Amino acid sequence: MMNTMTTDELTIAIAVPLESEHVERIRAVDPSITVLYEPELLPPERFPADHSGDPDFKRTPEQEERYWSMLNKAQVLYGFPNENPAGLARIAKSNPHLQWIHAMAAGAGGAVKASGLDSETLQKFKVTTSAGVHALPLAEFAALGILNGFKRSAELAQDQAAKVWPELRTPTKLVNGSQLVITGLGEIGLETARIARALGMKVSGTKRNIEAIEGINEVADNQGLAGLLASADAVVNTLPGTPYTEKLFNHEIFSAMKPGTVLVNVGRGTVIDEEALLEALDNGQVSYACLDVFAVEPLPQESPLWNHPKVMVSPHTSALSAAENRLIAERFVSNLRTFLDGGELPHLVDTVHFY
């Protein structure tokens, strides 16, 4: 949908914690826009890009009223209110002027779905994601996972902790010349492929719409995943959580893998059947799993993944970097210029498939 609003009517509200320097960058996009920013109404960040802010922060009743009044004056929001699905649901119902919300997450579709808003309401405004901003840190983390698996870092750490110097020396695998499969050849997947190729890996992968991609040896859809995995030494998942990706990595897919495959997940935890993964780890189909995301988060204390000797648990932090707020603000500024000029916004949440 093309934007039909004239710029002299446009008000933007900052709904999540953001440094003032980035707010000024947004204000500088066009002299005719108004940016509403009241930092005292926003929870302080505990770390860079802490979009939810300190959970102990509480607004007074007067501040709460001011917060929602500010948001209801805007046609554009920077962030979901209170950075949660309930905030999204509330603003969608209370703000009749709302045209566009820019989400902090790359995979904001899950939060949109969790808001419970019906399709008619979701057609009244656009939601864009910060997809691409996190591509480099996620790709670097994926490379870490591949190297950890190939170079046996988990076993080395165990030997070091036990002060064991093995009598028999165990060789490691060369990354150079090995085969990598990436599920999800979007921005994160393609950045992962770039780094993997720099390490000398041969890369294939999956995409919903099959098409030739420069530097990718073979592209298939999810139906062809098992065939790709038969010769893969490592697999990196970047897919979002949707009904179509739910437990994509199941017993059948793990069985199709070459024994000893290294698995990295920087997409969504629901893409992997964790019971099937544990079985694959125990029978050797998967030699090592580097996991940044899980089906339930935080990962339950009773999960056997915590203590599995072949698993690295990362608490969904691999996308974080000190530069994240700046990068998201730059993405929003670019999108805002497109919006003001009447262009099509990129990285829209699909309100049917929720990715």
**How much is the pLDDT for 8?**
61
Can you spell out the DSSP letters for 31-95?
TT-EEE--GGGSPPPSSTT-SS--TT----HHHHHHHHHHHHT-SEEES-GGGSHHHHHHHHHH-
Please give the chain's pLDDT, 355 residues, in tens.
334 444 468 999 999 999 999 999 999 999 999 999 999 999 999 998 999 999 999 999 999 999 999 999 999 999 999 999 999 999 999 999 999 999 999 889 999 999 999 999 999 999 999 988 999 999 999 999 999 999 999 999 999 999 999 999 999 999 999 999 999 999 999 999 999 999 999 999 999 999 999 999 999 999 999 999 999 999 999 999 988 999 999 999 999 999 999 999 999 999 999 999 999 999 999 999 999 999 999 999 999 999 999 999 999 999 988 899 999 999 999 999 999 999 999 999 999 888 8
**How much is the pLDDT for 5?**
44
Among candidate residues 65, 252, 275, 297, the one labeled active-site is: 297
The pTM assigned to this predicted structure is 0.85
In the annotation, is 316 catalytic? yes
Among candidate residues 268, 308, 331, 347, the one labeled active-site is: 268
**How much is the pLDDT for 215?**
97
Among candidate residues 194, 197, 316, 353, the one labeled active-site is: 316
Cα–Cα distance measured from residue 233 to residue 251, given in angstroms and rounded to the nearest whole number: 18
In the annotation, is 268 catalytic? yes
In the annotation, is 337 catalytic? no
| CATH class of domain segment(s) 7-133+322-340 | alpha beta
**Is-same-fold flag (7-133+322-340; 135-313)?**
yes
**How much is the pLDDT for 3?**
45
Domain ranges of the chain: 7-133+322-340, 135-313
**How much is the pLDDT for 1?**
39
333: CB partners within 8 A, 6+ apart? 25, 26, 29
Query: In this structure, what token pair is assigned to residue 167?
Result: 């009598």
**How much is the pLDDT for 56?**
97
| CATH class of domain segment(s) 135-313 | alpha beta
Cα–Cα distance measured from residue 232 to residue 274, given in angstroms and rounded to the nearest whole number: 20
**How much is the pLDDT for 119?**
94
Query: In this structure, what token pair is assigned to residue 30?
Result: 């066009």
